Each structure stands twice: as structure tokens, then as C-alpha cells.
Amino acid sequence: MLLLSSDEETKKNKLYFYDLNLKGNYKINDKNRMYISWYLGRDVFEYDDLFGFNWGNRTFTLRWNHLFSERVFSNFSFILSDYDYELGQYSSAAGFKWTSDMSDIKIKADFTYYPNTKNMVRFGVNGTFHHFNPGLAKGTGDETIYNELKMPESNALEWAGYISNEWKPLENLTINYGLRGTIFQNMGKSTVYNFEENYEKIDSTTYGSGDIYNTFYGLEPRANFMYALNSKSSIKGSYSRTKQYIHLASNSTAGSPLDIWVPASPNINPQLADQFALGYFRNFFDDTYETSIEVYYKDMKNQIDFRDHAELLLNPEIEGEFREGNASSYGLELLVRKQTGDFTGWISYTLSKTEREFPEINDGKVYPASYDKPHNVAIVANYELSRRITVAANWVYSTGAPVTFPIGRYEYGNMIVPIYSDRNDYRMPDYHRLDFSLTYKFGVNKEKRFKSELNLSIYNVYNRKNAWMINFYQDDQDPTVTKAEKVYLFPILPSLTYNFYF
Amino acid sequence: MNQKIKIMKRYIAIILIVIPFIFSACTEEIHIDLDSTYDRIVIEGYFTDEYKTHQVKITKSADYFSNTSAPAITGATVTISDGTNTFNLTEIEDGLYETDTMAGVPGNTYTLNASIDGTIYTASSYMFTCPPMDSIGFARNIWDDEWIDVLIYAQEPGDEINHYAWRAYKNDTLVTDTLHEVEFSDDVFINGSYVNGVEVQYVQAEIGDTIMLEMHSITEDYYEYMLKVMLETVWNGGPFDGPPANFYGNLSNEALGFFAVYSVQRQTGIIPPDIPDAYED
Amino acid sequence: MKQLLLLLTVLSLSLASWSQNKYTISGHVKDEAGEDLIGSTIYVKELNTGTVTNAYGFYSITLKEGTYQLDYSYVGYETQTRKIELSKNQNINITLNEASKTIDEVIVTAERKNSNVIKAEMSTMKLQAKEIKKIPAFMGEVDIIKAIQMMPGVQASSEGSSGFNVRGGSADQNLILLDEATVYNASHLMGFFSVFNNDAIKDVKLYKGDIPAAYGGRLSSLLDIRMKDGNMNKFRANGGIGTVSSRLTLESPIIKEKGSFIISGRRSYADLI
């Protein structure tokens, strides 16, 4: 991959990732079964012994299925989850190291009770302990020139209890109704900054280890119904309320591994959404073709965004960068899917709109979300030509993403400074791409244990230079001239993989 | 945020920009149709404690692809006052207004008044004193050995919050004439300490060249303003930036630009034959 | 509070059909390798009703004494039918075989494969790992998130990114669970690849709305990823060598049909070139 770049500088880079999945399970007896799962993944980037940057997730789950009776199934889980990163510059006195991590410990108990054919009751409780260590940066040299910079650590407890029933009052009517209750508590040891209305820090409050200093409650009803018109078609509808207590402090469309998760707190409210959906489902040709059309409306409150020129890196007062507002989205989704036979795949089309309204952003005017793409098409197809050869293709299309462009310019300090339009008033060019693959299986007719296949995949078959970013800049040669350029990531990319099984 | 953390963050920003480009991201010039916006007034004014004429440049905004110098605004009435006296500026060139030869006094607050087509644009700024520099030194830059770090040796006054900017001259010519070449900082880390050879500017020079380091003691407003200019020009373009935004300086009536008031200190040094590497003890 | 009381009342009313002589048929549905089949349908012909296996392949159905025909089915597998004389609780475990390519689809019309129509569930889409494997691989890596990004209602956050937006929600509003553990950053290499190795995965289900009450914590979606359990009957290995990365998976029973494990690893080597 790096071969594609012939730059000498690039060759000094090390860039790789690895992951490892491990799982075991054991059936103790007919009523008890244990599972243990473990995942570890890491990304590493190093530049010539000078920079280093690595990040990754780790998860661990221990689960016990227990059948209290033939009608009562239960599962008990113990779960650990961790995400961390480390970034450093390793040259003598100017060296520094910046680390950040967040981890969860969770215990869950879930029960399903199957009393009769008309009801299925699910209920359970769980509790999660979150630990946030958003960032610690310090010098590494013996006589370091840096002070230590630490973002306040904090903890949180998230509790949930739920009960729901799937009820079939009639042969062709099923209704699901349920309620989820949640509690979120901030817990010390931590330091919380207090801000006044202009988001300037006034002072801070420190909490001792284990002190609960803030509690949020949530009640989230969930319901749906399915009304079968006949064995081939049905109408379904649903309503759900969801609440979110931790937020990703990220300001760009391309998320970076440095993004940190920030819990709801006295300074940041939990997010809330209500979603309504209605759909018509219909199968054709003996259930070979499944089709559906769904419309949805989603109303979101306490959404997060950031002030202009927000400082999100290593900022202890990061909560002062958050701004709160509302968002709403609605759309129509069409799906045709075939899952059996030599020819399989699906076609999906989505028509949608997502808008945001924040009093302190864009002068309070409504603006499109950066992922508001009205048209979105995906065609995924796979065809088994013969026992040896399979071909597959997919084509995706979406309207260009909204973006903010300059609409004027002025000069200051011998530099050209752009004047920008309203937020997300323009759009990037539309995005579309075709991928293709061909798989050839070896040893199909023989009864050998060892089988293999060769897969040729081509990404972006017609080599469309889809714009990834559009930049405006001052020309080097003639300082009064400004230009626009587009950055595109992937030209046509073929790849060859040899797969084997035995 | 102290200056070292600022440097740390710049390294981080570099890393974030470099990584995606390892995948040989390509660029291509494109044509885009952009709308126009109403004209804005842009006022760029400087007033210092040096005994010389001080200039205020007044221009207008233009279309993004106008590709000419900023159109000047002529015939404005421009004055600077210290609260007691008012000094009139004369238009020496289209859009360029100049005071008589005079010097500002640290401790005063100066107010700029520009009357353009009946609207008055005004800004005020306090002039901080600037501590003197004892001497300057040189070291070879660790990232690119074509560049030489200019080091400062000075006592930072601890009694107030200060912000500084530095420019460099090589053999009497200003080499940092564009805003993105000016270095600036707050004093959070160094407040009250003796600054013992920290690099504040960068030059490309030969042995025997005379380097003059010019230090400005600026206001916090101006420091914040320069940061925003950088964020919307040379420091943006990475995939991890937030959305771009417009910003104002210290002028009223939505005029763009800034009226910067500061005091100046200078120190000279000559590039010696043997320059140590940066951070070598 | 009022909502809770109302809920409990409705719940007890619907359960009030106490009847005599009811017996339960329960068990697990698996495939030939011993993997639990999640969401497999059990259809009771006489009552025109049925149930579905849970995340551990378990089902339970309580019926009045009598004779029933039960059809067990799962997409891509041959349906199996059992005739049951129900006079006591029974434990019936089923192993389904993959649909053979030589059998013409038309013959097996008796089975009902209409679960997407009659299941009281909407705004979801499920993909088995072997369906994901059929999608063209970006730089040789079969990727679950790239498959998700092609579902209706889902957008990719930007080219090459592992972030996705579901029904107008931001990229942090997706709950990504790997065997019930939350994954906070699902990207390798700035998002060009996801952290999920398809060889270790059994199936993937995306809920774009209508998230069951059992789950919460994120506003817009639930991406429930289940790992394979490991072949219960014999040792199997599979892997691949590609231009950017290579992978190897080993699975084996510990005690035949009682316990098994699976270990799966992957590494990229762009830097060694």
C-alpha cells in the first residue's frame, strides 16, 4: 500500500493494525451453558522513531445461559470494555506523551418467559460502571520543559431495567409493548468546571472518590405492531423513545481516533429521541423476493454541536465548547431483497432529510446536518455462475454532503481570509462508485479436505475521483489568486486475496 | 494554554494530517461556482510606541475568486485618539491612511475612529509595556536543518497577563511579512519566570547574517484574533478540522479586521559559525 | 409511574389465559457445525403461529395437548419438519443443513419463509457472515461496516470511514455490540477498515429504529454483532492472504458437542513493503 507512494519520507513510516478474537463455550448440562469471548485490536503508526501513535479496543464477555424451566430462559453476563490511545513524541527534552482511555464494567441479567403462544415476556436489569480518563499529557525527557496537562477524570454509573411483552391477541396481529427505565449518575473522584451563560469558566468543584454528584433519569417506552393482511404482506408501525448519556466530542465528519467520549453532566444534558415509523412489507414469488417500504420521523432533542473554532484537543474545559440544540429527520426507505438461489442481493433506496437548529450556531437558523444526503441508492448483487465461479458487484450513489464554502474574501496581514456562507449551505459533488469481484474456487469436484479460492476485488471500477474534501487556498506564485482543489482518496483499487479452508 | 502545549498540539495536528495522506491522497484543481455576498469594510490598523508614522489600511471585501488586490476605500476620515488628544490621519495612497511621526505611550488606551460614507467604525485597545530582551541566541531546528531557531533570553514580568508576538529581520529586511509567519504566544507557562533560550522565531540564514528579533507586547484580543485568522487560512484543510466560521476583530458595526495596539522591543544577534542543535544541553 | 402501572395491567390481562394441560416444546436450533442459529423460525402449522430462536439459538413454545407439525427454518438452510404428539414437556434440538445447490428452489414451497412479513419487527436488517463475504472486498478485507453502509436508511459518514449515520442520527448515536460488549471505536486505520474480522463473526443485525426495550444507551441504532461459537464437531481452519492484510481462524471442539472454541487473528502489513 505504501508502495503506491513513492515519497522517501513516506517510507520511514510504519502503519499497521492487528486484531484477535477468541471465544470458547461449554455446555455444562441441558440447563446451563457458559460462553467466554475476548477481543483485542490495535492500530499502530510510527514515524522514524520520532512520533508514535497507537490506539485500540479490548472487550471481554463472560456469559452464563441458565434455563430455570422450559419456559424461562435467562442469561447473566459480565462484560468489560476498554478503548485507549497513546500519542508521543520521543526526542529528548521536547518529548511528551499523551494518553487517554475509557473503560466500562457491566453486569447484566436478562430473562425471557414464554408462557404461551400469545405472549413472550422479556425483562432484565443491568448496571455499568464507566471510567473516563479523557487525557493526560506530560513531558518524558529527564529535564522536561512541559508542565503536566490533565483533563479531569470522572466516573459514571448507568443503570437500566426493562420489561416488555410480545402479545398476539389475534392470529394476524402482534403487538410489542415495553418500557425501559434508565438512571445515569456522575461519580467522583472528579473536578467539574462551572460555567456562566457565555460559557466562560467561573470556578470548579471537586468531588471525592465515590461521591455521586448528579443524577439523570429516563423513561423510554417502546412499542410496535404487526398487522398481517395475508401470509405475504403486512403493515407494521413502531414508536420508540431513546436516551443517550455519553457523547462523542468530535467536530469533523471524518472521526479521528483522538475523539473522546464525554458523559452527560451538570454541564451537558443527555440526548433524547422519539422515532415513529410505519411500513408495508410484501413478499413475491413464494417469498423469494422480500420487499418493504418504510417511512420514519425522528425528533431529537439536546443534540450536541460545538462553538465556532472549538478547542477539542486536550482541553480540560471541553464542556464549555459544547452547544445544545435540536434536530429532526424524516425519510422513506425502499428495499427489495433476494436471499436464496444462485442470484442474491438487494436494492435499497432512501429519500431523507435531516436538519438541525441550534440557537448559538449559524445565528440560530436551521441548517442541514453534515450527513443530510437526500438520495441514497445501493445495489448489491451476487451471482453464482457455476460451482467454481461467483461474481459480485455493488453500486452506491449518494447526494453530496452539505458543506460550508466561501462566498467572499478580504485581506489582512498580507493574507487572503475567506468569508463563509451559512453553515452547510453548499454541497459536495455527488458520490457514486461501482465495485466488482470475481471468486474462483479450486478443488470443487474433489473430495479433498483442503479447499481454496482466489478472489479478485476491484474497488471503484470506473475510477471516479469522488471528492473527499474541497479546499480553498492562496496560490503560491501569485498571492492575489485563490483556487479550489478537491482531494480524492481512492482511485481504482484492485486487490487479490487467496482464501483457504480445511 | 502554555506555548509548549501549543507546540505539542501542532505536532498532533501534523500527525493527523499526515496519516491519511500516506494513502497517497491526490488532489486536483477544480472549478466551483460560488455566490457573492454584500461588501464588508475591512480595517487593518497598527499603532505602536515606536517614533514613526503609523498606518491604517481600509479595504473592501470581494468575491472569493476575484483574483485582484483588495479594493481600497478612499475618502474616509480616520483619527486615533488617546482620550485627550486626537490625531488625524492623512490618506497617502488609495486606502492607506497615515499619522504624523509620533509615538504611542504604554499604559494609554487608544481609540480608532473611521468614518466611511456616513458610518463610523471604531475600536479601542490598551497598550501594554514590553519587557526588554537581554539577548538572542540561535540553534539548529530539529525537524528541518535548513531552518535556524531564534532563541530569546528575557525576564517575563509576572505582575499581569501578557501576550507576545515576534517578527524577524535578516540584514535589515523583514522576513516575516505575512501574518502566518508571525509567531505569537500567551504567558501562562512562563509568567514571572526568566525565559532562558526558548525558540520564538525561525529563519533561514548564513553565518554572519545579522538577525534582529522584534517582540510585540500585544493584547489578548489581538492574540485571539490572529489565532482565528490562522485557523481559517493556513491551519485548515485537514480532514479533522471542525466546520469553518466567520469571525470579527475589535471593530464596531461588523467591520472586519483589527486595530492592533502594542509596544515594541528589539534585540540583534549575528549567526555564529557553530550553531548547536536545538535542545542539546 | 402511571405508564408502568398501565403496562403491568395490560401484561397481566394478556397472560390471563390460564389453561389446563399445556406443555412446552423447547430446545436449541443449530447448524451442522454446532453454531446456534439466531432468529431461526419455528412455525406451528395447526395454529398458524410460531416463535423465533433467541440470541443463543433457544426457543420455547407452550401449546395445549395435541398433535402438531413444527417447521424449523432459517434463511439459506433446508427446513426441517417434526410431527409432535404433545402430552408432556419435550426438549427438541434441531440441526439444520445448508440448502444444497442441487435441489431446485421450487420443490420446497411448502415452507413459510415469510418471517420478514409476519415478524413483529421493523426497521431492521440482518446479514449472515457468509452473505457479507460475498460483497466485493475493499483492499481485500471483507468488511461488516461497509455492508451496513449499503442498507436503506444508512449512510457512510465519509468515504472510507467506518462511521455511519442511521436515519439522520450522528455517528456516535450507534450502539455497537460485539457479543454484548460495547465497542467504542469501530475503525482501524482512520476508518478504512472496521475492527471486525468477518471470519470470526456469525451474523450481524442492525436496528434502525424499533430498538427492543432490552437495549438502550444510544439514540439512533443498535448494531448487534455475534461472534461464531466454534465448530462443535471437528477441527476447522480457514484464512486468507491478501494484498494488505492476512487472516487465520482456527476452531475446534473441546469436547465433541459439548464445548468448543474459536480463535481468529488478522494483521495488516502495509508497512513492510
Residue range C216-225: mean pLDDT, rounded: 95
Would you call A11 an interface residue with chain C, using a CB distance cutoff of 8 Å?
no
Burial C138-174, CB ≥16 within 10 A → b, else e? bbbbbbbbbbbbbbbbbbbbbbbbbbbbbbbbbbbbb
- How distant is the Cα of B266 from the closest Cα of chain C, in angstroms? 46
Q: Which of A2, A410, A485 to mutate against chain B (most B CBs within 10 Å)?
A: A410
| pLDDT level of residue A325 (50, 70, 90 thresholds) | very high
pLDDT at A2 over 90: no
Q: Strand, helix or coil at A425?
A: coil
Percent of chain C with pLDDT over 90: 62
* pLDDT at C124 (0 to 100): 94
Looking at the DSSP bridge assignments, the partners of residue A275 are A240, A298
C121-273 has the same fold as C21-99: no
Backbone Cα Rg of chain C: 21
Cα–Cα distance for residue pair B167/B154, rounded to 1 Å: 16
Residue ranges of E strands in chain C: 22-31, 41-44, 49-52, 58-64, 66-73, 80-86, 90-91, 94-96, 124-128, 154-156, 164-166, 174-178, 181-182, 187-188, 193-194, 201-207, 221-227, 236-242, 245-255, 259-268
Q: Which of C117, C162, C182 to mutate to test the interface with A (most CBs of A within 10 A)?
A: C117
Q: C140–A232: do the CB atoms touch at under 8 Å?
A: no
The kind and range of the H/E element at A132 are strand A119-139
**Which residue out of B22, B24, B240, B241 would a mutagenesis test of the C interface target, given it has the greatest number of C Cβ atoms within 10 Å?**
B22
Q: How far is C187 from chain B (nearest CA, A)?
A: 13
Distance from CA of A480 to the nearest CA of B (A): 5
Percent of chain A with pLDDT over 90: 69
pLDDT at residue B141 in the model: 86
CB contacts of A145 in chain B (<8 Å) are: 4
Minimal C-alpha gap between C96 and chain A (Å): 16
- Test C167 with A162 for CB contact under 8 angstroms: no
Q: Which residues of C touch B20 (CB under 8 A)?
A: 190
Look at residue A192 and give its three-state secondary structure.
strand
Q: Would the CB atoms of A407 and B35 count as touching at under 8 Å?
A: yes
A255-269 mean pLDDT: 88
A97 is written with which cell numbers?
Answer: 506523551
| Cβ atoms of A39 and C263 closer than 8 Å | no
Question: Strands B210-218 and B163-170, how do they pair?
Answer: antiparallel
C59 and chain B in contact, CB less than 8 A: no
Chain A closest-CA separation from residue B270 CA (Å): 26
* Chain A residue with Cα closest to B235: A473
Chain C: give the shortest CA distance to residue A144, in Å. 31
Task: Report the neighbours of C using a cutoff of 3 or more CB pairs below 8 angstroms.
Answer: A, B
- Output the nine-digit C-alpha cell for B171: 540584514
- Determine how many CB atoms are found less than 10 A away from the CB of residue B118: 5
DSSP class per residue in C27-47: EEEEETT-PBPTT-EEEEGGG
Residues of chain C neighbouring B239 (CB-CB closer than 8 A):
158
pLDDT at A24 > cutoff 90: yes
Chains contacting A (3 or more CB pairs within 8 Å): B, C
- Contact residues on chain B for C157, CB-CB shorter than 8 A: none
Q: What is the amino acid identity at position A184?
A: F
Q: Does any CB of chain A come closer than 8 Å to the CB of residue B33?
A: no
Q: Which residues of A255-287 are buried (b: 16+ CB within 10 A; e: fewer)?
A: bbbbbbbbbbbebbbbbbbbbebebebbbeebb
Nearest to A418 by CA among B55, B35, B122: B35
B19 touches chain C (CB under 8 A): yes
Q: Which pLDDT score is estimated for A50? A: 76
* CATH of B41-126 among 2.60.40, 3.40.1000, 3.40.50, 1.10.10: 2.60.40
The residue ranking higher by pLDDT, C103 or A49, is A49
Highest mean pLDDT among A46-50, A254-258, B141-145, B277-281: B141-145
Q: Return left, alpha or beta for A51; rule: phi > 0 is left, psi -120 to 50 is alpha, else beta.
A: beta
Task: Lowest mean pLDDT of A311-320, B165-174, C169-178, name the range.
Answer: A311-320
Interface test mutation site (partner C, options A23, A119, A370, A395, max chain C beta carbons within 10 A): A23
Q: Which of B4, B39, B60 to mutate to test the interface with A (most CBs of A within 10 A)?
A: B4
CATH code for residues C21-99: 2.60.40.1120
Choosing among A275, A291, A301, A375, which should be mutated to test the C contact, i.e. which has the most C CBs within 10 A?
A275
More confident residue, C224 or A95: C224
Identity of the residue in B24, B36, B279 whose CB atom sits nearest the CB atom of A94: B279
Q: What pLDDT, on the 0 to 100 scale, is given for residue B279?
A: 66
H or E segment and range at residue C115:
helix C115-118
Q: Say if residue A232 is preceded by a cis peptide, omega within 30 of 0.
A: no
pLDDT given at position A200: 86
Q: Identify the three-state secondary structure at position A422.
A: coil
Q: What is the pLDDT of residue B3?
A: 54
Cβ-Cβ contacts under 8 Å for C13 (sequence gap 6 or more): none
Facing residue for A21 by CB, picked from C131, C244, C264 = C264
**DSSP-based three-state secondary structure for A346:** strand
Q: What is the DSSP letter of B7?
A: H
Indicate yes or no: CB of B28 within 8 angstroms of CB of A406.
no
Residues 6+ apart with CB under 8 A from B216: B48, B130, B164, B165, B166, B167, B262, B263, B264
3-state secondary structure A38-82: EEEEEEEEEECCCEEEEEEEEEEEEEEEEEEECCEEEEEEEEEEE
Mean pLDDT of C72-100: 91
Q: Where does the pLDDT of residue C103 fall: very low under 50, low under 70, confident under 90, or very high at 90 and above?
A: very low
Residues of chain B with CATH 2.60.40: 41-126
- pLDDT of A1 reads 35
pLDDT at B178: 84
In percent, the amount of chain A with pLDDT more than 70 equals 95
- Contact state of B244 with A489 under an 8 Å Cβ cutoff: no
Calculate how close chain C gets to A323, using CA atoms only, in Å.
15
User: Which chain B residues are Cβ-neighbours of A484 within 8 angstroms?
Assistant: 29-32
CA–CA dist B241, A135 (Å, integer):
19
User: Are C139 and A499 in contact (CB < 8 Å)?
Assistant: no
Q: Name the nearest CA neighbour of B177 among B123, B214, B125, B139.
A: B214
Of residues A326 and C191, more confidently modeled: A326
| Residue of C4, C135, C255 lying closest to A380 (CB–CB) | C135
Kindly determine whether residue A163 and residue C214, on different chains, have CB atoms separated by under 8 Å. Answer: no
| A424 min Cα distance to partner chain C (Å) | 15
- Give CA separation, B183 vs A32, B14, B115, B169, C180, in Å: 68, 17, 32, 13, 51
Which residue of B lies nearest to C270 if distances are taken between CA atoms?
Answer: B23
CA distances from A12 to A7, A79, B11, B239 (A): 10, 39, 17, 23
Give the model's pLDDT for residue A184. Answer: 96
The answer to whether the Cβ–Cβ distance between C192 and B23 falls below 8 Å is yes
Please check whether residue C107 touches B, CB under 8 A: no
Is A410 in contact with B257 (Cβ distance < 8 A)?
A: yes
Asked if A408 contacts B40 with a C-beta cutoff of 8 angstroms, the reply is: yes
C121-273: CATH number:
2.170.130.10
- Contact status of A290 with chain C (Cβ, < 8 Å): yes
pLDDT band at A229 (very low <50, low <70, confident <90, very high): very high
Output the pLDDT for position B158: 79
Per-residue pLDDT at B108: 93
C109 interaction partners in chain A (CB closer than 8 Å): 286
Name the residue ranges covered by the structural domains of chain C. Answer: 21-99, 121-273
Q: What does pLDDT average to over chain C?
A: 86
Contact A87/B12, CB-based, under 8 Å? yes
Smallest Cα distance from A406 to chain B, Å: 7
Cell output for A351 = 429519500
Mean pLDDT rounded to a whole number for chain A: 90
Could you list the mean pLDDT of each consecutive 10-residue stretch along chain B, which spans 281 residues?
A: 57 59 71 92 94 94 91 93 92 93 93 94 94 90 86 86 90 86 80 82 90 93 91 76 88 94 93 80 45
Which residues in A lie closer than 8 A to residue B66 (C-beta atoms)?
A: 409
Which residues 122-161 of A have a C-beta within 8 angstroms of C? 122, 124, 158, 160
Note whether A309 contacts B231, CB cutoff 8 Å.
Answer: yes
Of B2, B19, B22, the CB nearest to A147: B2
| Backbone angle region of A385, left / alpha / beta, with phi > 0 → left and psi within -120 to 50 → alpha | alpha
Whether residue A234 contacts residue A76, with contact meaning beta carbons closer than 8 Å, is answered with no
- B5 touches A: beta carbon within 8 Å: yes
Residue A431 has pLDDT above 90, yes or no: yes
pLDDT over 80 (residue C2): no
